[in-house]
A and B are shown apart, each in its own frame.
Chain A
Amino acid sequence: MPLDDLSDLGDEVLLARYAQGDRMAARALVLRLSPRVLGYAARLLGDRAEAEDVAQEAMMRLWRIAPDWRSGEAQVTTWLYRVVTNLVTDRQRARRRRATNGLDEAPEVPDGSPGVVTRLIEADRMAALDAALVQLPDRQRQAVVLRHIEGLSNPEIASVMEIGVEAVESLTARGKRALAALLSGQKAALGYEDEGAEA
Protein backbone atom coordinates (compact mmCIF):
# COMPACT_ATOMS: atom_id res chain seq x y z
CA MET A 1 0.00 0.00 0.00
CA PRO A 2 1.49 3.40 -0.98
CA LEU A 3 2.35 5.81 1.79
CA ASP A 4 -0.32 8.27 0.61
CA ASP A 5 -3.01 5.66 1.08
CA LEU A 6 -2.11 5.39 4.76
CA SER A 7 -2.84 9.05 5.44
CA ASP A 8 -6.51 8.34 6.10
CA LEU A 9 -5.80 5.67 8.67
CA GLY A 10 -5.91 6.49 12.37
CA ASP A 11 -2.87 6.38 14.60
CA GLU A 12 -4.02 3.22 16.34
CA VAL A 13 -4.61 1.39 13.07
CA LEU A 14 -1.15 2.36 11.86
CA LEU A 15 0.36 1.27 15.14
CA ALA A 16 -1.35 -2.10 14.84
CA ARG A 17 0.01 -2.47 11.32
CA TYR A 18 3.45 -1.51 12.55
CA ALA A 19 3.22 -4.24 15.16
CA GLN A 20 2.38 -6.67 12.37
CA GLY A 21 5.59 -5.85 10.54
CA ASP A 22 4.28 -3.26 8.05
CA ARG A 23 7.24 -1.03 7.24
CA MET A 24 5.12 1.52 5.40
CA ALA A 25 3.13 1.97 8.59
CA ALA A 26 6.41 2.67 10.38
CA ARG A 27 7.25 5.40 7.88
CA ALA A 28 3.78 6.90 8.09
CA LEU A 29 3.90 7.04 11.89
CA VAL A 30 7.34 8.64 11.89
CA LEU A 31 6.28 11.33 9.43
CA ARG A 32 2.98 11.99 11.20
CA LEU A 33 3.98 11.92 14.85
CA SER A 34 7.63 12.97 15.00
CA PRO A 35 7.04 16.66 14.17
CA ARG A 36 4.42 17.01 16.91
CA VAL A 37 6.52 15.20 19.47
CA LEU A 38 9.60 17.21 18.57
CA GLY A 39 7.73 20.52 18.56
CA TYR A 40 6.26 19.89 21.99
CA ALA A 41 9.59 18.82 23.46
CA ALA A 42 11.30 21.87 21.97
CA ARG A 43 8.74 24.23 23.50
CA LEU A 44 9.23 22.69 26.91
CA LEU A 45 13.00 22.50 26.81
CA GLY A 46 13.95 25.51 24.72
CA ASP A 47 16.79 23.48 23.25
CA ARG A 48 16.43 21.80 19.87
CA ALA A 49 19.18 19.22 20.28
CA GLU A 50 17.91 18.14 23.67
CA ALA A 51 14.37 18.07 22.30
CA GLU A 52 15.48 15.71 19.53
CA ASP A 53 16.89 13.32 22.12
CA VAL A 54 13.66 13.39 24.08
CA ALA A 55 11.51 13.00 20.97
CA GLN A 56 13.57 10.07 19.74
CA GLU A 57 13.31 8.37 23.13
CA ALA A 58 9.53 8.95 23.25
CA MET A 59 9.12 7.45 19.79
CA MET A 60 11.30 4.51 20.79
CA ARG A 61 8.95 3.83 23.70
CA LEU A 62 6.06 3.87 21.25
CA TRP A 63 7.75 1.26 19.06
CA ARG A 64 8.37 -0.93 22.08
CA ILE A 65 4.82 -0.76 23.37
CA ALA A 66 3.22 -1.24 19.93
CA PRO A 67 2.74 -5.03 20.20
CA ASP A 68 1.05 -4.60 23.58
CA TRP A 69 -0.96 -1.48 22.71
CA ARG A 70 -4.52 -1.79 23.99
CA SER A 71 -6.87 -0.16 21.54
CA GLY A 72 -9.34 2.36 22.91
CA GLU A 73 -7.62 3.02 26.22
CA ALA A 74 -5.76 6.15 25.18
CA GLN A 75 -5.02 8.14 22.08
CA VAL A 76 -1.57 7.57 20.68
CA THR A 77 -0.85 11.31 20.65
CA THR A 78 -2.04 11.78 24.23
CA TRP A 79 0.15 8.88 25.31
CA LEU A 80 3.13 10.42 23.50
CA TYR A 81 2.56 13.83 25.06
CA ARG A 82 2.55 12.18 28.49
CA VAL A 83 5.80 10.35 27.77
CA VAL A 84 7.47 13.55 26.53
CA THR A 85 6.21 15.48 29.55
CA ASN A 86 7.67 12.90 31.92
CA LEU A 87 10.97 12.70 30.05
CA VAL A 88 11.31 16.47 30.06
CA THR A 89 10.46 16.65 33.76
CA ASP A 90 13.17 14.09 34.51
CA ARG A 91 15.70 16.10 32.50
CA GLN A 92 14.78 19.36 34.15
CA ARG A 93 15.12 17.80 37.60
CA ALA A 94 18.51 16.44 36.67
CA ARG A 95 19.51 19.81 35.28
CA ARG A 96 18.60 21.49 38.56
CA ARG A 97 20.51 18.90 40.56
CA ARG A 98 23.57 19.75 38.52
CA ALA A 99 23.12 23.44 39.07
CA THR A 100 25.76 25.11 41.15
CA ASN A 101 25.11 25.66 44.83
CA GLY A 102 23.39 28.89 45.70
CA LEU A 103 21.39 29.18 42.52
CA ASP A 104 17.71 29.06 43.32
CA GLU A 105 15.10 27.62 41.03
CA ALA A 106 13.04 29.96 38.91
CA PRO A 107 10.43 31.76 40.99
CA GLU A 108 6.89 30.42 40.83
CA VAL A 109 5.67 33.86 39.71
CA PRO A 110 7.97 35.66 37.27
CA ASP A 111 8.85 39.21 38.19
CA GLY A 112 7.86 40.44 34.77
CA SER A 113 10.82 42.75 34.45
CA PRO A 114 11.29 43.54 30.78
CA GLY A 115 15.05 43.41 31.04
CA VAL A 116 15.09 39.66 31.72
CA VAL A 117 13.32 38.91 28.50
CA THR A 118 15.13 41.60 26.58
CA ARG A 119 18.45 39.89 27.20
CA LEU A 120 17.13 36.56 26.01
CA ILE A 121 14.95 37.30 23.04
CA GLU A 122 15.65 38.19 19.47
CA ALA A 123 13.47 40.41 17.35
CA ASP A 124 11.62 37.40 16.07
CA ARG A 125 8.15 36.94 17.57
CA MET A 126 8.39 33.20 18.00
CA ALA A 127 11.80 33.53 19.60
CA ALA A 128 10.33 36.04 22.02
CA LEU A 129 7.52 33.68 22.87
CA ASP A 130 9.88 30.73 23.32
CA ALA A 131 12.18 32.80 25.51
CA ALA A 132 9.25 33.74 27.71
CA LEU A 133 7.88 30.18 27.80
CA VAL A 134 11.10 28.70 29.14
CA GLN A 135 10.90 31.11 32.07
CA LEU A 136 7.54 29.79 33.19
CA PRO A 137 7.40 27.22 35.97
CA ASP A 138 7.43 23.72 34.44
CA ARG A 139 3.80 22.79 35.06
CA GLN A 140 2.48 26.13 33.86
CA ARG A 141 4.58 25.87 30.73
CA GLN A 142 3.32 22.34 30.03
CA ALA A 143 -0.31 23.37 30.47
CA VAL A 144 -0.02 26.50 28.33
CA VAL A 145 1.81 24.74 25.51
CA LEU A 146 -0.57 21.78 25.48
CA ARG A 147 -3.67 24.02 25.55
CA HIS A 148 -2.74 26.94 23.36
CA ILE A 149 -0.08 25.62 21.01
CA GLU A 150 -0.73 21.89 20.73
CA GLY A 151 -4.48 22.48 20.86
CA LEU A 152 -5.46 19.79 23.37
CA SER A 153 -8.66 20.02 25.37
CA ASN A 154 -8.53 20.42 29.13
CA PRO A 155 -9.55 16.78 29.78
CA GLU A 156 -6.82 15.62 27.40
CA ILE A 157 -4.29 17.81 29.20
CA ALA A 158 -5.49 16.42 32.51
CA SER A 159 -4.78 12.94 31.16
CA VAL A 160 -1.34 13.94 29.91
CA MET A 161 -0.33 15.69 33.12
CA GLU A 162 -2.13 13.19 35.33
CA ILE A 163 -3.98 15.90 37.26
CA GLY A 164 -7.59 17.10 37.50
CA VAL A 165 -9.28 19.36 34.99
CA GLU A 166 -9.58 22.16 37.55
CA ALA A 167 -5.86 22.05 38.15
CA VAL A 168 -5.32 22.31 34.40
CA GLU A 169 -7.53 25.38 34.21
CA SER A 170 -5.66 26.97 37.11
CA LEU A 171 -2.23 26.23 35.63
CA THR A 172 -3.26 27.52 32.21
CA ALA A 173 -4.69 30.76 33.59
CA ARG A 174 -1.66 31.42 35.79
CA GLY A 175 0.66 30.54 32.96
CA LYS A 176 -1.00 32.95 30.58
CA ARG A 177 -0.88 35.77 33.10
CA ALA A 178 2.78 35.11 33.71
CA LEU A 179 3.48 34.97 29.97
CA ALA A 180 1.73 38.30 29.43
CA ALA A 181 3.80 39.80 32.23
CA LEU A 182 7.04 38.42 30.78
CA LEU A 183 6.18 39.72 27.35
CA SER A 184 5.07 43.13 28.54
CA GLY A 185 7.40 45.78 27.34
CA GLN A 186 8.19 43.66 24.30
CA LYS A 187 5.50 45.10 22.09
CA ALA A 188 7.99 46.71 19.78
CA ALA A 189 9.85 43.44 19.32
CA LEU A 190 6.58 41.59 18.90
CA GLY A 191 5.16 44.07 16.45
CA TYR A 192 2.34 45.34 18.66
CA GLU A 193 1.64 49.01 19.16
CA ASP A 194 1.65 50.45 22.66
CA GLU A 195 -1.95 50.51 23.80
CA GLY A 196 -1.25 52.18 27.12
CA ALA A 197 -2.81 49.58 29.42
CA GLU A 198 -1.60 46.04 29.92
CA ALA A 199 -3.52 43.06 31.14
Chain B
Amino acid sequence: MTMQDLDALLSEARATETRPAPDFLARVLEDAYAAQPVTAAADAVTRLGGRSLLALLAGWVGGFGGAAAGLATATLAGIWLGFAQPAALSAPVASVSAAFGAETAVDDVVELIPSLDGWLAEG
Protein backbone atom coordinates (compact mmCIF):
# COMPACT_ATOMS: atom_id res chain seq x y z
CA MET B 1 0.00 0.00 0.00
CA THR B 2 1.35 3.41 -0.93
CA MET B 3 1.25 6.39 1.41
CA GLN B 4 -1.24 7.98 -0.97
CA ASP B 5 -3.54 4.97 -0.56
CA LEU B 6 -3.17 5.17 3.19
CA ASP B 7 -3.87 8.91 3.24
CA ALA B 8 -7.02 8.31 1.20
CA LEU B 9 -8.15 5.60 3.59
CA LEU B 10 -7.49 7.79 6.63
CA SER B 11 -9.38 10.68 5.01
CA GLU B 12 -12.28 8.34 4.46
CA ALA B 13 -12.18 7.36 8.11
CA ARG B 14 -12.07 11.01 9.12
CA ALA B 15 -15.20 11.71 7.09
CA THR B 16 -17.02 8.77 8.64
CA GLU B 17 -19.31 10.05 11.35
CA THR B 18 -19.53 8.20 14.63
CA ARG B 19 -23.15 7.66 15.53
CA PRO B 20 -23.65 6.99 19.22
CA ALA B 21 -26.43 4.66 20.26
CA PRO B 22 -29.46 6.42 21.76
CA ASP B 23 -29.08 4.62 25.09
CA PHE B 24 -25.48 5.78 25.32
CA LEU B 25 -26.52 9.38 24.74
CA ALA B 26 -29.26 8.97 27.31
CA ARG B 27 -26.76 7.74 29.91
CA VAL B 28 -24.41 10.61 29.25
CA LEU B 29 -27.23 13.14 29.45
CA GLU B 30 -28.48 11.58 32.66
CA ASP B 31 -24.98 11.97 34.12
CA ALA B 32 -24.90 15.58 32.96
CA TYR B 33 -28.18 16.43 34.66
CA ALA B 34 -27.24 14.58 37.84
CA ALA B 35 -23.90 16.38 38.10
CA GLN B 36 -25.20 19.78 37.05
CA PRO B 37 -24.93 22.50 39.67
CA VAL B 38 -28.17 24.12 40.73
CA THR B 39 -27.76 27.87 40.65
CA ALA B 40 -29.93 30.52 42.25
CA ALA B 41 -31.37 31.46 38.86
CA ALA B 42 -32.40 27.94 37.98
CA ASP B 43 -33.58 27.22 41.48
CA ALA B 44 -35.73 30.34 41.60
CA VAL B 45 -38.15 28.82 39.12
CA THR B 46 -39.17 26.19 41.59
CA ARG B 47 -39.29 28.36 44.67
CA LEU B 48 -42.51 28.17 46.61
CA GLY B 49 -43.25 30.78 49.23
CA GLY B 50 -39.63 31.76 49.58
CA ARG B 51 -38.56 28.17 50.16
CA SER B 52 -37.25 25.94 47.42
CA LEU B 53 -39.47 22.96 46.76
CA LEU B 54 -36.51 21.10 45.29
CA ALA B 55 -34.42 21.84 48.36
CA LEU B 56 -37.24 20.50 50.51
CA LEU B 57 -37.41 17.29 48.46
CA ALA B 58 -33.64 17.03 48.50
CA GLY B 59 -33.76 17.06 52.26
CA TRP B 60 -36.12 14.10 52.28
CA VAL B 61 -34.35 11.97 49.73
CA GLY B 62 -30.76 12.95 50.35
CA GLY B 63 -29.58 15.47 47.83
CA PHE B 64 -30.88 17.16 44.73
CA GLY B 65 -29.51 14.51 42.39
CA GLY B 66 -31.03 11.74 44.44
CA ALA B 67 -34.36 13.56 44.68
CA ALA B 68 -34.59 14.18 40.96
CA ALA B 69 -33.55 10.67 40.07
CA GLY B 70 -35.91 9.15 42.63
CA LEU B 71 -38.88 11.16 41.46
CA ALA B 72 -38.18 10.40 37.82
CA THR B 73 -37.81 6.69 38.52
CA ALA B 74 -41.01 6.53 40.57
CA THR B 75 -42.94 8.42 37.90
CA LEU B 76 -41.74 6.19 35.10
CA ALA B 77 -42.41 3.07 37.12
CA GLY B 78 -45.95 4.23 37.82
CA ILE B 79 -46.62 4.94 34.18
CA TRP B 80 -45.25 1.57 33.16
CA LEU B 81 -47.29 -0.35 35.71
CA GLY B 82 -50.34 1.54 34.51
CA PHE B 83 -49.83 0.39 30.95
CA ALA B 84 -48.70 -3.17 31.44
CA GLN B 85 -49.21 -5.74 34.13
CA PRO B 86 -45.87 -7.45 34.61
CA ALA B 87 -46.05 -11.21 34.53
CA ALA B 88 -44.22 -11.37 37.83
CA LEU B 89 -47.22 -9.76 39.54
CA SER B 90 -49.74 -12.31 38.26
CA ALA B 91 -49.00 -14.83 41.01
CA PRO B 92 -49.27 -12.35 43.92
CA VAL B 93 -52.46 -10.91 42.46
CA ALA B 94 -53.91 -14.40 42.11
CA SER B 95 -53.09 -15.27 45.71
CA VAL B 96 -54.71 -12.09 46.98
CA SER B 97 -57.78 -12.80 44.88
CA ALA B 98 -58.00 -16.33 46.20
CA ALA B 99 -57.89 -15.03 49.77
CA PHE B 100 -61.08 -13.11 49.14
CA GLY B 101 -63.05 -16.10 47.96
CA ALA B 102 -62.74 -19.48 46.35
CA GLU B 103 -64.78 -18.43 43.34
CA THR B 104 -62.55 -15.40 42.65
CA ALA B 105 -60.60 -15.82 39.44
CA VAL B 106 -57.33 -14.17 38.61
CA ASP B 107 -59.02 -11.70 36.31
CA ASP B 108 -61.72 -10.78 38.82
CA VAL B 109 -61.76 -7.33 40.37
CA VAL B 110 -61.27 -7.29 44.11
CA GLU B 111 -63.08 -4.41 45.74
CA LEU B 112 -60.75 -3.36 48.50
CA ILE B 113 -62.76 -0.21 49.28
CA PRO B 114 -66.45 -1.15 49.55
CA SER B 115 -69.04 1.40 48.61
CA LEU B 116 -70.91 3.40 51.22
CA ASP B 117 -74.08 1.42 50.43
CA GLY B 118 -72.40 -1.75 51.56
CA TRP B 119 -71.47 -0.28 54.94
CA LEU B 120 -74.97 1.15 55.46
CA ALA B 121 -76.64 -2.19 54.59
CA GLU B 122 -74.54 -3.96 57.20
CA GLY B 123 -75.70 -1.48 59.83
Cα-based distance from A52 to B23 in the complex (angstroms): 10
Please pick, from A19, A36, A56, A198, the residue contacting B28 in the complex, using a CB distance under 8 A: A56
Query: Count the A-B residue pairs with Cβ separation under 8 angstroms: how many?
Result: 113
Q: Is A180 an interface residue (CB 8 A)?
A: yes
- Proximity bits, A149-180, B CB within 8 Å = 1, else 0: 11100000000000000000000000010011
For B29, what are the chain A residues with a Cβ–Cβ distance below 8 Å?
Answer: 26-27, 30
Q: How large is the interface on A (under 10, 10 to 19, 20 to 34, 35 or more residues)?
A: 35 or more
Task: Check A195/B31 contact, CB under 8 A, given A19-B37, A21-B41.
Answer: no
Please pick, from A26, A190, A199, the residue contacting B9 in the complex, using a CB distance under 8 A: A190
- Proximity bits, B41-74, A CB within 8 Å = 1, else 0: 1110000000000000000000000000000000
Question: In the complex, given contacts A30-B32, A199-B3, what are 17 additional A-B residue pairs having Cβ atoms less than 8 angstroms apart?
Answer: A18-B32, A21-B37, A21-B43, A23-B36, A26-B33, A29-B32, A34-B20, A60-B35, A126-B13, A148-B14, A149-B13, A151-B14, A176-B3, A176-B6, A179-B6, A180-B3, A184-B1
Q: Could you list 16 examples of A-B contacts with CB < 8 Å?
A: A23-B36, A34-B20, A35-B19, A39-B18, A52-B21, A55-B24, A59-B28, A63-B32, A126-B12, A149-B14, A151-B14, A180-B2, A184-B1, A192-B1, A198-B1, A199-B2
A-side residues, CB < 8 A to B, are: 18-23, 26-27, 29-31, 34-36, 38-39, 42, 52, 55-56, 59-60, 63-64, 66-67, 125-126, 129, 144, 148-151, 176, 179-180, 183-184, 186-187, 190, 192, 195, 197-199
